[in-house]
Amino acid sequence: MGVKLNLSKVIAINNAFELGSWIDMCFFGDARWYWWNEERFKVFPGLKVTVNRNPKPGESVENVSGLKIVRSHNSKGLCTEANSIYFNSSSGAAAVNLAYQLGAKRIILFGYDMRYIDGKSNWKPHPIPRSTGKPFTNFLTPFRSIAKDAKALGLEIWNATPGSALTVFPMMAKEEVNDCLGRI
């Protein structure tokens, strides 16, 4: 899962930082994810960003060297307050707000399928078993507020994920992505 920024910058979410050297930043919203992936994540050369949302004792990432922590709020939509984002129930939705705060004028979403395919999701490898239904409902809901705020702010958001359950943004076919990126 990733967010495409203007100027062709890429924010990877969670394990997507492993997709290649073209990833500029990795964002995660769960301190546990950091501790589960600490060794592999240490070698990532790009910018590392998170929020420190009520970690359990021993899970805080406040003192991790090289990690930038952004202030977050539990509201929905796009936060316009400087140096803050709305978490929006998921790292993927929070990353959209982060991209906006970093100056994006156009965001292209990749890997936001928000559904199960053949009983599996592209969700990050997770040591804690997940249920097979409710998380995507919870993750999808804030995107309505994000879409409304984006329209009011003049922010273009496109979904380039074929078959995505996230339908509040216009869909972009793979063939259109390169043309669109050329206009950034």
- At residue 4, φ and ψ (nearest 5 deg) are -95, 125
CB atoms within 10 A of CB 165: 15
Q: What is the pTM of this model?
A: 0.86
- The total number of residues shown for the chain amounts to 184
pLDDT band at 99 (very low <50, low <70, confident <90, very high): very high
pLDDT digits (tens, 9 = 90+) for 70-84: 999 889 999 999 989
Q: What angle (nearest 5°) sits at the alpha carbon of residue 55, between those of residues 130 and 136?
A: 30
Give how far the C-alpha of residue 153 lies from the chain's centroid of Cα atoms, to the nearest Å.
19
CA distance 46 to 119: 33
Q: What angle (nearest 5°) sits at the alpha carbon of residue 78, between those of residues 38 and 2?
A: 40
Total structural domains within the chain: 1
pLDDT digits (tens, 9 = 90+) for 138-157: 889 999 999 999 999 999 99
| Spatial CA neighbour of 16 closest among 173, 182, 161 | 161
The predicted structure's pLDDT at residue 169:
97
Q: Could you tell me the residue range of the domain that residue 73 belongs to?
A: 2-182
